[in-house]
A = this chain, B = another copy of it.
Amino acid sequence: MTYTIPESREAAQAQDEHDILRHAREAFDIPEGTIYLVGHSLGPATHTALDALSRAGSFEWREELVSAWNTAGWFDLPVHIGKQIARLIGAGESEVIIADSVSVNLYKLAAAARPLAKSPTLIVEEGEFPTDQYILEALANLAGTDFIRAGRGNGPDTLAETGGVLVMSAIDYRNAEVRDIAAHESRAAETGGVIIWDLSHATGVIQLDLKAAGARLAAGCTYKYLNGGPGAPAFLYVSDTMCDTLHTPLPGWMGHARPFAFEPSYTPAPDIRRMASGTPPILSLSALSGALEVFEALDAGLIEDKARALGDLVIARVQAMGLEVASPLDASQRGGHVSFTHPNGYEVVQALIARGILADFRAPDTIRFGVSPLYLGFEDIWTAMEGLEDILTTRSWDNEAFRKRATVT
């Protein structure tokens, strides 16, 4: 579907009416009067997620008790959810599993990738998501290998020089810039390096085709655009071609070839289960699985198209207000949020929140508008931009009385 940038509220309404994705909104349970632009941080609740959560607690746990590990399918839930996510990232059904947090998964993948790369050197860019940097540096310290914190944008060159292991976000968490997975994988393959993709800000909002792009290892967050619930466990992707060479540094009973034999030595499961560790938090997993049902009938290409168009609308209006856009202007180079700056960014975001327009702020001056296409329409963005314009024009964020009020709420 081709979306355009509406130039009036009426045009925005008209585009919403013809939007193939408009029914997706009905799946969400968002409070009346809220325009939610923070889906890049925490996706909102869906009816299916809340229903699955309630069922897991009040029926499966309460009624079936420990038997639910079999009867309710808890034991297979990490693999089941992996299949739900696989479709969205262009992976095979056997290539994705849910386990732990993104941080822990990156650690597992990086440790396991070290012996497979030409050199065990661990690389991360200085602008990368902070935790990714901490994890790599700590792993290098423990394993006694070189760690390189490359300059911004220099990760791939450093990878080519060393043939090591690079952790890189597919979409930058600050400005939503997109990395070309296929191009980087192709170059890495030539030089013996291994890339671990952090898909946290990409999954569920841009079209990913990991298999076609030749991606081998990845991890990602499920509580942003996948709407899995606060702190929902992360996913982990391993290409089938690499799976049987991969040995986790955190082997747990869930990843054992024979989990119920209670053997003293670890034999990894032959498939992606080998990357699981301890018992996963089933209640949180259940909500996540429910949330993913919303994606079942949806096309990732369509989601991407709409996210780009919503972002284009934000950019057009922000630029008209004379603000500086920090995200790529070219929609094909941009993920699911738009970052722009204002010297009083914090106060402006507080003023937006007071009007029911939820956005977020990153120090020192960046405002981020997440444009998740499943529950946001063009008119929502239009309304949000009008609100922003009004706040800037009236400088209502500079009103002492308002600021006091905003602190209390």
Q: Interface on A for B, CB 8 Å cutoff?
A: 29-31, 34, 36, 38, 41-42, 44-45, 49-50, 53-54, 56-58, 60-63, 65-69, 74, 100-104, 107, 111, 126, 130-131, 133-135, 137-139, 141-144, 149, 223, 229-234, 247-253, 256, 260-266, 277-285, 287, 353, 358, 360, 362-363
Contact = CB atoms under 8 A, between A and B. Distances in A.
Contact of A250 (B36, B138, B358): B138
Nearest to A229: B283
Nearest to A101: B278
9 contacts: A29-B62, A36-B65, A45-B58, A67-B358, A130-B256, A135-B250, A229-B281, A229-B283, A283-B283
A249 B283 contact: no
A223 B279 contact: yes
Contacts of A360: 66
Given A56-B230, A101-B280, A131-B251, 6 more contacts: A44-B61, A61-B230, A66-B358, A134-B253, A135-B251, A281-B284
Given A57-B229, A283-B283, A358-B66, A250 B103 contact: yes
A277 B231 contact: no
A54 B101 CA distance: 23
B103 A264 contact: no
Nearest to A36: B65
A374 to B, nearest CB: 15
